[in-house]
Amino acid sequence: KQGLTGRVMFYTLFMVLLFGVIMVQYMCPSEDRALVRFIPRFNFSKSDLYRGVDFNIKGDDVIVFLHIQKTGGTTFGRHLVRNIQLERPCECHAGQKKCSCYRPGKKETWLFSRFSTGWSCGLHADWTELTNCVPSRMGPQETPKNLPRRNYYYITILRDPVSRYLSEWRHVQRGATWKASLHVCDGRSPTLSELPSCYSGDDWSGCTLQEFMDCPYNLANNRQTRMLADLSLVGCYNVSTMSEDERWAVLLESAKRNLRSMAFFGLTEYQRKTQYLFERSFNLEFIAPFTQLNGTRASSVEVPAETQHRIRVLNKWDVELYEYARDLFLQRFQVARQQERRQKLCYCSVTSSKSCTFTDGLCNWPHIALNVLIHSRLSCGLKKSSDNGISAVEK
C-alpha cells in the first residue's frame, strides 16, 4: 500500500510539473517566437554570455556611454538620465541639455554621458578616446593601495549598418558636420592629410547619396567598427602603415574584443530586449518601457537594391561586426531569460497552497514538495519582452 501511495505521489508530482512547463510555454509565446528562427553562428565562452556587473552607485563606479552617431544613442542617453528608478534620480531642468546624476549622499556623478557630463572627451568620442580620457576627466582618485580602484563600465548601442549609414547621410544632408570631434589617438588629433575632408565650406548640406558614398575619406564608412576598436593598434589615422584590408581586419578583431568585454551593449532593432539586458546587467530598472519605432527618415528613403548592395560593400566590416554583435546579443538574451525562469519559479508548500516562496537560485528538484506549482506569469518575467511598444531610433 505504501509503495502504491509513493508511486501515486510521484506521478502526481510529475503531472503537476509537466502542467507548469506547458503553462509557461503557453503564457510566453511572444518571447519564444522572437527567437524561434535564431540559430547561433558563433561560440562564446560562459563569461561572454553570463553578464552581470557589481555596479555600486553609492561607491565610486561609473557607467561610461560610448555614443556612436545615428544608432539611437540620443534616445538611450535620455533613458539613462530620465527613465531609471533611482534612490536619487537625475536632476533635469527644462532648457538645460545636461542633467545632474549624483550618487546618493554625494555630489559626484555615476554616469559619464552626453546628457550628464556633456562631451567631456570630445564630440562622439570613440573607444580609443574614452578609455584614455575618462579616468582623468573623472578626477584623480587618491585612494589607499588596499582599496579597490574605481570601476568604469563601458556601454554602447549598435545599429544595422545600412540603416545607420542612410540615417547619417540624411543627417549630414541637413547640415550636420561633427567638426568638433577631436579624433585623438596616441595623444594627438590627425593631420589634414591623415583625415581629409569630404567637402569644402562650412558643411555638406544638400549632398546626394551618390556623393556621400563616393568620398573615400567618409568616416560614415564602417563607423561602428572604427569607434569600437583600439586605433593605436593600426597607427591611428596613418593609413600608410599597412594595407587597407589588413588594417580593417585588425580593427574588426579589436572591436569584437572590446564589445565582448563591455559591461553591456544593446541593438537599436531590439529595444525591449536592450532594456531587459541592461536591467539584468546593472540590477537597475527603467520606469517606462522602451518603444520600437521602425518609421524613421532612413527607413522612408527608397533605395534601389544595387545601391543597398554598394552600401553594404562600403560598410562590410560594420556588417560583419553587426552580425557578430547580434549573435552575441541574442545568445545573451536567451541565457538571461533562462536564468530568470529558474529564479522566478514559485514553490507552494504542502500545508498551504496559498503560501509561496521565491527561490533565488537554480531549482533543487529532489527536495520539491508534492504540492508544487509553477507560477507561469512569474516565470515569464515581470515585463513583457516583445519588441513592440520613449522612441527607438534617431530620425
Residues with a known catalytic role: 124
Distances (CA, A) of 126 to 15, 137, 182, 197: 55, 15, 10, 19
C-alpha to C-alpha distance for 235 and 132, rounded to whole angstroms: 16
DSSP 204-260: -TT--HHHHHH-TT-TTTTHHHHHHS-GGGGTTT-GGGS-HHHHHHHHHHHHHHHHH
Classify strands 264-267 and 152-158 as parallel, antiparallel or unpaired.
parallel
Q: Which amino acid makes up residue 196?
A: P
The full DSSP string for 113-145 is: STTTT-STTSTT--HHHHHHHHHHHT------T
Report how far apart, in Å, the C-alpha atoms of 7 and of each of 3, 10, 183, 373 are: 6, 5, 71, 19
Q: Which residue has the cell 583625415?
A: 195
- What kind and span of H or E run contains 66? strand 62-66
Instruction: Let me know if 277 is exposed, middle or buried by CB neighbors in 10 A (0-12, 13-18, 19+).
Output: buried
Q: For residue 128, give the nearest of 187, 80, 72 by alpha carbon.
A: 187
Contact indicator for 280, 349 with CB cutoff of 8 Å: no
Contact 108, 102 (CB under 8 A): yes
Give the integer Cα–Cα distance in Å for 33 and 27.
Answer: 12
